[in-house]
Amino acid sequence: MLSTGRNSAWVALDGEIRPRLAQLRRMTGKRFMPVPGDAVTVRPLEDGDAVVERIEPRVFSLERRTRGRAKTMAANVDTIAIVTSLTHPPPRLPTLDQLLAFCELQAVDGIAIFTKPDLSGADVAQRVAHVYDALGYPTIVANPKAGDNVDGLRALLAGRRALLAGNSGVGKSTIFRALGGDAVVGDVSRHGIGRQTTSVARLYRLPDGFLIDSPGIGEFGLGAVEPGELAHAFREMREPSLRCRFADCSHRSEPDCAVRAAVESGAIAASRYDSYVRIAEGALLQGR
């Protein structure tokens, strides 16, 4: 399952390259709602479309809570692959850091993919990528438009059931084309009517896995999160936070804060701390 609307969805059938538009069948008087990543049983129709008969049991559901309500964003995924351009547009590290924090809170793997190193310069690419590589996140710098390090990207994603996330213009479509996938599949309108676009609902099959691009980046808002929980979602803050004078330290203004001391000493990257503060202040991608 790639993308869903009110009445229909785009699905990728086994053995087929291009997805099909499928109608959602009513069950017990209610319409069930699959999400990206769902495994579904589909009945193909003679006109090339299909009908989704049922959703198979989910191994995992990726959820977020907004105002106390849980929303299932995707199913059966184990990785969020986050694409960040090094220039044009400039790297939006706070967005990358919030998505990685989301991964930590959801207990799924986060991958950092940096694009456009040819435009930023090797020194910038190395400096930015090192921050995340040092934290233990699988990190790669690639220029899929020129074919540089595409094999490394393919190897990094192999065996994963991954969602691709990133702002507009960072090169997600280029990644799909470089991997051999179809960069144009389709959108499902708010009325559930399928239409061909170049925006969403893309899937690339990997050995023992898949890469799918469907949820909007705003779907990854953290919503209301306590400072202690947020700090725990920043790997490098976990140990220093245990040494703060106050157990409920927000790491923003309290005296004897070990986290801020680690930032001043260079043990925590200033960009990561800035992201933490912006997220704590509710300035980034908050669920609404």
Residues ≥6 apart with Cβ < 8 Å to 266: none
Contact 137, 100 (CB under 8 A): yes
Quick one: 259 and 130 in the same domain? no
| pLDDT above 90 (res 154) | yes
- Among the three residues 220, 247, 265, which one is the final residue of a domain in this structure? 220
Quick one: 43 and 147 in the same domain? no
161: left (phi over 0), alpha (psi -120 to 50) or beta: beta
Q: What is the pLDDT of residue 198?
A: 33
Q: Which helix (H) or strand (E) holds 71?
A: strand 69-75
Could you tell me if residue 285 is inside a domain? no
| pLDDT above 70 (res 215) | no
Signed CA dihedral, 258, 92, 186, 288: sign only: positive
How many other β-carbons are positioned within 10 Å of the β-carbon of residue 263? 21
Could you tell me if residue 107 is inside a domain? yes
Please report, for residues 210, 262, 269, the alpha-carbon distance to residue 266 in angstroms, rounded to integers and kept in the order given. Answer: 38, 6, 6
Helix (H, G, I), strand (E, B), or coil: what is residue 193? coil
Quick one: 151 and 75 in the same domain? yes
Q: Which domain holds residue 23?
A: 3-55
Quick one: 201 and 240 in the same domain? no
Name the most confidently modeled range: 189-198, 205-214, 216-225: 205-214
Q: How confident is the model at residue 66 (pLDDT cuts 50, 70, 90)?
A: low
Distance CA 72, CA 58 (A): 11
Helix (H, G, I), strand (E, B), or coil: what is residue 113? strand
Could you tell me if residue 288 is inside a domain? no
Residue 156: which of 142, 169, 168 has the closest Cα? Answer: 142
Q: What are the respective helix, strand and coil percentages of the chain, to the nearest 5?
A: 30, 25, 45
pLDDT digits (tens, 9 = 90+) for 224-236: 788 889 999 999 9
Quick one: 73 and 172 in the same domain? yes
Quick one: 66 and 187 in the same domain? yes
Residues ≥6 apart with Cβ < 8 Å to 254: 244, 245, 246
CATH number of the domain encompassing residue 145: 3.40.50.300
Q: What is the pLDDT of residue 46?
A: 87
Contact 85, 118 (CB under 8 A): no
Quick one: 20 and 149 in the same domain? no
Could you tell me if residue 205 is inside a domain? yes
Quick one: 112 and 207 in the same domain? yes
- Among the three residues 20, 39, 55, which one is the final residue of a domain in this structure? 55
Q: What is the pLDDT of residue 3?
A: 77
Task: Report, as an integer, the average pLDDT of 65-71.
Answer: 69
Q: How confident is the model at residue 216 (pLDDT cuts 50, 70, 90)?
A: low
Quick one: 37 and 165 in the same domain? no
pLDDT digits (tens, 9 = 90+) for 105-136: 989 999 999 999 999 998 999 999 999 999 99
Integer-rounded Cα Rg, in Å, for the chain is 20
Quick one: 77 and 216 in the same domain? yes
First to last CA, the chain: 25
Length of the chain: 288
Task: Report, as an integer, the average pLDDT of 159-170.
Answer: 90
pLDDT digits (tens, 9 = 90+) for 83-96: 999 998 889 999 99
Quick one: 231 and 96 in the same domain? no
Helix (H, G, I), strand (E, B), or coil: what is residue 184? coil
How many independent structural domains does the chain possess? 3
Please report, for residues 24, 32, 52, the alpha-carbon distance to residue 27 in angstroms, rounded to integers and kept in the order given. Answer: 9, 7, 11
Helix (H, G, I), strand (E, B), or coil: what is residue 157? helix
Could you tell me if residue 40 is inside a domain? yes
Could you tell me if residue 170 is inside a domain? yes
Q: How confident is the model at residue 218 (pLDDT cuts 50, 70, 90)?
A: low
Task: Report, as an integer, the average pLDDT of 207-222.
Answer: 75
pTM of the complete model: 0.84
Q: What is the pLDDT of residue 74?
A: 84
Distance CA 242, CA 236 (A): 12
Distance CA 11, CA 284 (A): 32
Please report, for residues 128, 180, 229, 238, 242, the alpha-carbon distance to residue 261 in angstroms, rounded to integers and kept in the order given. Answer: 22, 47, 19, 13, 13
Could you tell me if residue 262 is inside a domain? yes
| pLDDT above 80 (res 213) | no
Lowest mean pLDDT among 134-138, 139-143, 188-192: 188-192
pLDDT digits (tens, 9 = 90+) for 6-52: 788 888 888 777 778 888 876 544 555 788 889 999 998 888 889 99
Could you tell me if residue 168 is inside a domain? yes
- Among the three residues 197, 220, 243, which one is the final residue of a domain in this structure? 220
| pLDDT above 50 (res 170) | yes
Q: What is the pLDDT of residue 185?
A: 43
Quick one: 177 and 250 in the same domain? no
Q: How confident is the model at residue 186 (pLDDT cuts 50, 70, 90)?
A: very low
